[in-house]
Amino acid sequence: MSRAIRAIDSMEILDSRGNPTIRTFVELEDGTVGVASVPSGASTGENEALELRDGDPKRFGGKGVLKAVANVKEVIAPRLKGIDPIRQQEIDQIMIELDSTKFKKNLGANAILSVSMAVCRAAAKSLGLPLYEYIGGCSANRLPVPMLNVLNGGAHADSSVDFQEFMIVPLGAPTFTEAMRYAAETFHALKKILKEKGHATSVGDEGGFAPNTLKSNEEPCELIVEAIEKAGYRPGEDIAIALDPAASSFYKDGKYVLSRSGAGEKTSDEIIEILKDWVSKYPIVSIEDGLGEEDWDGFKKLTQEIGDKIQIVGDDIFVTNTEFIKKGIELGTANSVLIKLNQIGSVSETVEAIRLCREAGWTYVVSHRSGETEDDFIADFTVAMDGRQIKTGSTCRSERLCKYNRLMEIERELGKAARYENPYS
Ligand code: PGA
Ligand code: ZN
C-alpha cells in the first residue's frame, strides 16, 4: 500500500500559558496519522522566523492562529498531497518556497513547522520505527544530560530576579533515569529551603520556583548549591549549574537594566565581570545569553575570557539560523548554540543548524520554549541528533515532564545500548 500523504488537517489548540498554538495532522494513504504541536516563546530573539498570529482583538487578544491553520489546510496541504513523507527535505523545501520569504512571513513558521514535524512523525510511524531511530538511524543511542530550570525569573515569572533561568545539570549520574531522580530530589530540597527561608514556592512558566522576595540575581546560585547538598549530592561533581540570563530581555540602549533585583544599570563589561565572578564561586558549566543579542562584542569577550572553561551558548543571538551561526563561528562569538525548531521553522533547517555546529566543533543544546504543549518531539530529536544536552524545564508541569519521561522511555527501550555521558569533560 502506498505511503503517500493523503490529507493534512490542522487546528487551533492552547499552549501551557493558555495562548493559542497550532496542531497538525498528516494522514498517509496507509492510514497512518502523524500529529505535531508547535510551542511558543516569551523571550524571543528579534530574528526568529515569524509566529503567525491573527491580530484579531476579538479572539484571544489578537493571539489566535486561525490564519496559520488556514495556511496549512488551504495552501500547504494541496501542494504536499501524494508525496512520500520520507522525503522530509524536499517537503520542507517545498514549504519554504511556497512561503517565499526569509522569515516565513507569509505562511508562518508555526504553520510550516507543524507540518514538518507531523510529516516526520507520520513517516516514522508508517515505517514502524521509533522517531529517534527514524531520524537518527540505528546508531542513535546517547541520552542527553538534562538542564532543568528550577528557578524562574525574567520574562518567565513575576519574580524579583532579572535573570531568566537557573538550571541544575545532573552530569554525574550514571544514567538519564538516575539523572532525573537526582534532579527531582534536588528540586524538592530547594522547595524546602525556600519555604524555611520564608519564600513562596509557586512555580513559573517552566516549572521552576519563582519567589519574588529574593534580594539579588546571585542568591539563586547560593540556594541551588545548598539544595544540591541538602539532597545528598556533590555540587559540580554530581550536579552542576547552568544559567540563561536571557540578557536581551533587559538590554536597553546599550545598557543592562537590572530593575527587578534593584541592581541598577550595568555595562557589558560589568555583566562579564559578574558572570566571571560567579563562575569562580559556583559550579557553573554553561551560560546561555549572558549578553544581549545585539551585543556581539560582549558575547565574544565573554567567550574569550571564560569560553575555555565553560560552555557559552547563543540563543537569541543565533536563533537556530545558519546565517547567524556561521557569523558567530567566524567571529568566535560563542562555543555553543541553543537549538529551537520553531526559531527557524522546519525540521530540515534545524538539522542543518546542528550540522554547522558539529563541523565547527561547537556544542548544541536542544531546547523547549517557555510556552509548550504535550508534544515530546524534541526528546526523540535530541537522541537522533546525538545532542548531548537538552533543556526542557523543571521536574514539574507535564508539558516539561513529557519530554523527560519520553527520554526515560527511550533509555529503557535502548536497554544495554543506551549511553549517558558528561558532555563537559
Ligand atoms: P523562551 O525562553 O521560550 O521564552 O524564548 C527560553 C529561552 O530563552 O531559552
Ligand atoms: Zn535562552
The burial class, CB within 10 Å (0-12 / 13-18 / 19+), for 188 is middle
How many A from CA of 82 to the centre of ligand 1? Answer: 36
How many A from CA of 422 to the centre of ligand 2? Answer: 21
| Binding site membership of 392 for ligand 1 (Cβ less than 6 Å) | no
Which ligand is closest in space to the CA of residue 154? Answer: 1
- Identify the residue whose cell numbers are 536597553: 252
The burial class, CB within 10 Å (0-12 / 13-18 / 19+), for 82 is exposed
Mean pLDDT of the chain: 98
Task: Report helix, strand or coil for 175.
Answer: coil
Pocket test for ligand 1, best of 15, 19, 336, 340 (most atoms within 8 A of CB): 340
Output the pLDDT for position 1: 76
How many A from CA of 125 to the centre of ligand 2? Answer: 32
| Binding site membership of 206 for ligand 1 (Cβ less than 6 Å) | no
Which ligand is closest in space to the CA of residue 206? Answer: 1
Distance CA 20, CA 16 (A): 9
Catalytic residue annotation? 206, 340
Q: What is the pLDDT along the chain (425 residues), one digit of tens a residue?
A: 799 999 999 999 999 999 999 999 999 999 999 999 999 999 999 999 999 999 999 999 999 999 999 999 999 999 999 999 999 999 999 999 999 999 999 999 999 999 999 999 999 999 999 999 999 999 999 999 999 999 999 999 898 999 999 999 999 999 999 999 999 999 999 999 999 999 999 999 999 999 999 999 999 999 999 999 999 999 999 999 999 999 999 999 999 999 999 999 999 999 999 999 999 999 999 999 999 999 999 999 999 999 999 999 999 999 999 999 999 999 999 999 999 999 999 999 999 999 999 999 999 999 999 999 999 999 999 999 999 999 999 999 999 999 999 999 999 999 999 999 999 98
| Contact in structure between 383 and 146 (CB atoms under 8 Å) | no
